[in-house]
Amino acid sequence: MSTSGSHSHNHDRSPETGTSVDAVVVGAGFAGMFMLYRLRQLGFSVRVYETGADVGGTWYWNRYPGARCDVESMQYSYSFCEALEQEWNWTEKYAPQPEILAYARHVAERFGLRQDILFNTRVTAAEFDDETGRWWVQTDRGERVNAQFCIMAVGCLSAANRPPFPGIERFKGPLLHTGEWPHEAVDFTGLRTGVIGTGSSAIQSIPIIAEQAKSLTVFQRTPNYAVPAWNAPLDPHYVKTIKAAYPELRAKARARPTGFYFPFNTKPALAASPGERERQYEACWARGGLPFLGAYGDLLFDKQANDTIAEFARRKIRAIVRDPKTAELLCPDNVFGCKRLCVDSGYYAVFNQPHVQLVDVSKAPIERVTEQGIVSGGVEYPVDAIVCATGFAAITGAFERIAITGRGGLTLSEKWRAGPRTYLGLTTAGFPNLFMITGPGSPSVLASMIQAIEQHVDWVADCIAHLRTVGARTIEPTAADEDRWVEHVNEVAAISLRSTCSSWYVGANLPGRPRVFMPYIGGFPIYVHQCNEVMVNGYKGFIIRGATAAHTPAHIQCTKRWQVPLDIEVISPAAIAAKRVPVV
Q: Which residues bind ligand N01 (CB under 6 A)?
A: 68-70, 157, 163, 178, 196-202, 204, 219, 221-222, 340, 343, 361, 366, 389-392, 445, 504, 509
Report how far apart, in Å, the C-alpha atoms of 47 and of each of 137, 201, 295 are: 10, 32, 45
For residue 73, give Cα distances in angstroms to 195, 284, 438, 450: 28, 19, 20, 11
Q: How far is the CB of 336 from ligand N01 (least distance, A)?
A: 15
Report, in Å, the least distance between residue 343 CB and ligand N01: 6
Q: Give the pairing type, strands 123-129 and 403-405.
A: parallel
| Residue 428 near residue 500 (C-beta atoms within 8 A) | no
* Angstrom distance (rounded) from CA 101 to CA 499: 33
CB of 246 to ligand N01, least distance (A): 22
Query: Of the two residues 48 and 69, which places its CB atom closer to ligand N01 in the complex?
Result: 69
Please state the closest distance from residue 179 (CB atom) to ligand N01, in A. Answer: 6
The nearer residue to ligand N01, 289 or 419, going by C-beta atoms, is 289
For the packed helices 246-254 and 524-536, what is the interaxial angle rounded to 10 degrees?
90
The residue (of 39 and 395) whose beta carbon lies closer to ligand N01 is 395
Which amino acid is residue 315, in one-letter code?
Answer: R
Nearest to 171 by CA among 368, 366, 369, 367: 369
Least gap, CB of 138 to ligand N01 (angstroms): 29
CA distance 308 to 22: 54
Kindly tell me which of 81 and 510 has the beta carbon lying closer to ligand N01. 510
CB of 226 to ligand N01, least distance (A): 11
Please measure the distance between the N-terminal and C-terminal CA atoms of the chain and give it in whole angstroms. Answer: 31
Looking at beta carbons only, is 514 or 573 nearer to ligand N01?
Answer: 514
Smallest gap from residue 329 Cβ to ligand N01 (A): 13
- The distance of closest approach from Cβ of residue 19 to ligand N01 in the complex, given in angstroms and rounded to an integer, is 35
For residues 262-274, one letter each, b for 16 or more C-beta atoms within 10 angstroms of the residue's C-beta and e for the rest, the string is: bebbeebbeebee
Q: Considering the complex, what minimum distance in angstroms separates the CB of residue 205 from ligand N01?
A: 9
Task: Let me know: does 339 contact 200? Beta carbons within 8 Å.
Answer: no
Cβ contact 225:281 at 8 Å: no
Distance, in Å, from the CA atom of 456 to the CA atom of 442, rounded to the nearest integer, reads 9
Which is nearer to ligand N01, 272 or 393 (by Cβ)? Answer: 393
Residue number, 137 or 313, with CB nearest to ligand N01? 313
Distance separating alpha carbons of residues 133 and 146, to the nearest angstrom: 10
Determine which helix (DSSP H) or strand (DSSP E) holds 283, and give its type and residue range: helix 274-287
**Is 36 or 383 the residue whose CB approaches ligand N01 more closely?**
383
* CB-nearer residue toward ligand N01: 68 or 529: 68
Taking the C-alpha atoms of residue 375 and residue 230, their distance in angstroms, rounded to an integer, is 36
Which CB atom, from 340 or from 466, has the smaller least distance to ligand N01? 340
Please tell me the distance from the alpha carbon of residue 107 to that of residue 85, in angstroms, as a whole number: 11
DSSP string, 329-383: HH---S-TTTSPPEEESSTGGGGGSTTEEEEE-SSS-EEEEETTEEEETTEEEE-
Residue nearest to ligand N01 (CB): 199
Least gap, CB of 119 to ligand N01 (angstroms): 24
